[in-house]
Structure 1
């Protein structure tokens, strides 16, 4: 596990009502993770803009936060992606949009394109705040995938930095794995036996991953392993919402093919309706 997976945090900044809250969230996270911060503004540079950004950043600059402000005109998606690559940003913060008259959040078209194309990790914020709202419960995917080990390790690193005391590792299992047609009491018992075997298998696999993480990151955290049966992405998103998680951590999606665009895969369910803040580990 890399002891420091994030070295540079980036955030796109526009003069929206959430400007101060977005900058405070990014700057605060940079200080807690001990990284440098890059603000990316899509537009021309001016003294007035620069002064406004620096005025908001003042309390963090006084606390020795290393900050760079980048001004660049062009297509927002291309500007943010190219800047992320040029400045070696490894965690990019994006804001979610709220549906009118509903307490539901989704990823807008620009943020969605960036999320799909970015080569770095992405943090999607649903309700940025000037005052810090402590993160107390992280839900992280534990599905069987080559990326999962690194994602779980990153979850413990983030939990340690943010002083989070509870992590739930959710192993999403496809209902197809049960492969038992319930028609009577006997087949119901068989289905339950198969279910329990799958749960034991999944819990053992996740336990082995946790054992490889240094004790420094695991000793003060309440760890729960939760196998759930259902559709990938939708199931974990629903669980994170019901469990009132403050942060959901997911693997980055694999390269999308034609069929993925027609039929949404796991991460697309999350982007359509964000259950909470979401961190996608690249």
Structure 2
């Protein structure tokens, strides 16, 4: 893996009540990752807008923030996607929405369309804040997939840059892998033995992945392996919620793989009910 997987970060900028919080979150992350920040505004350029953005971000200039404002009129989805490709953005930050009367967040229609079509990684934020809230616990999928080693390595890279000390790698295991039908005590014991064997096999696979990650990323971190038998997507989302994770890291769906069949069930579930901030890696 490249020692610097995120060289450029993009965020769609609307002059809304959340403007300052969104800019602070994206600027902080850009400084932590040493990335250039692109502020994408769907609309006409004006000196007033530029001055407002410069005024909000002036405190980050002393920290070495490098940013560029891009103005373009048109359909928000098409504008953000085209600018992301044109500027070779590696990570696009999108905001999520809170449902009325519920402490649940979901991805709005524009952000959902961008998430499905973007060729870069996506960071979904549920509660952007002006004051930094430390990222203390990252949950990352350990799904058996060609992308997973890269995803886990990137999660450790993120943890190092954000000074996160705890990472949990969740291995979601389909219930149908346990082929014993439980009908009595004997079959229950056999099913439990089979589950333990599957857990040992999965843990061995994840430990092999961790052994390939540079020690600079893994040292001084509490690493937990968590095997869960259940529905993919739902299980890891639920775990991230109950473990109060600050960030959930997932593989992006890949065309021409079994992810195509899973896409409506796992990533879509996460998008419908975000358990926390979510990083979807290409």
What is the aligned partner in structure 2 of residue 223 from structure 1? Answer: 223
Cα distance in structure 2, aligned partners of 1:112 and 1:215:
36
Which aligned runs of 4 or more in structure 1 are off by greater than 3 angstroms?
A: 259-263
- In the alignment, which residue of structure 1 is the partner of 2:10? 10
Q: Which residue of 2 aligns with 1:120?
A: 120
How far off is 1:263 after superposition?
8.1
Aligned to 2:196: 196
Could you list the per-position Cα deviations for residues 99-153 of structure 1 after superposition, in whole angstroms to 9, with x for gaps in the alignment? 0011100000100010000000000000000000000000000010000000000
Deviation at 1:30, TM superposition (A): 0.3
1:157 aligns with 2:157: yes
Give the whole-Å Cα distance in 2 for the aligned partners of 1:263 and 1:256: 12
- Cα deviations by residue, 1:66-122 (Å, 9 ceiling, x for unpaired): 100000000000100010001010000000000001110000010001000000000
Question: Mind listing any 5+ residue stretches in structure 2 that lack a counterpart?
Answer: none
Q: Deviations over 1:179-213 (max 9, x none)?
A: 11100011001100110000000000000000000
1:256 positional shift: 8.6
Give the TM-score normalised by the residue count of structure 1.
Answer: 0.97
2:210 counterpart of 1:210: yes
SS of residue in 1 equivalent to 2:225 = strand
Report the equivalent of 2:108: 108
Q: CA deviation at 1:21?
A: 0.1
Shift of 1:264: 2.2
- Aligned equivalent of 2:176: 176
Asked whether the 8 Å contact 2:253–2:260 carries over to 1, the reply is no
In structure 1, the partner of 2:44 is 44
Contiguous gaps of at least 5 residues in structure 1: none
**3-state SS of the aligned residue for 1:235?**
helix
Instruction: Identify which range, 198-207 or 259-268, moves more after superposition.
Output: 259-268
Match of 2:251 in 1: 251
Mapped partners of 1:155, 1:5: distance in 2: 11
> Helix, strand or coil: the match of 2:216?
helix
User: Could you say what secondary structure the match of 2:155 adopts?
Assistant: helix
Aligned to 2:238: 238
Give the corresponding residue for 1:148.
148
Q: Deviations over 1:144-190 (max 9, x none)?
A: 00000000000000000000000000000000101111000110011
2:277 alignment counterpart: 277
Q: What is aligned with 2:71? A: 71
1:61, distance to aligned residue in structure 2 (A): 1.9
Q: How many residues align?
A: 281
The alpha-carbon deviation at position 63 of structure 1 amounts to 2.6
Superposed CA RMSD: 1.6
Alpha-carbon displacement from aligned partner over 1:17-52 (angstroms, at most 9, x marks no partner):
110000000000000111110000000001111111
- Relative to structure 1, the CA distance from residue 16 to residue 256 in structure 2 (aligned partners, 3 Å threshold; closer, same or farther) is farther
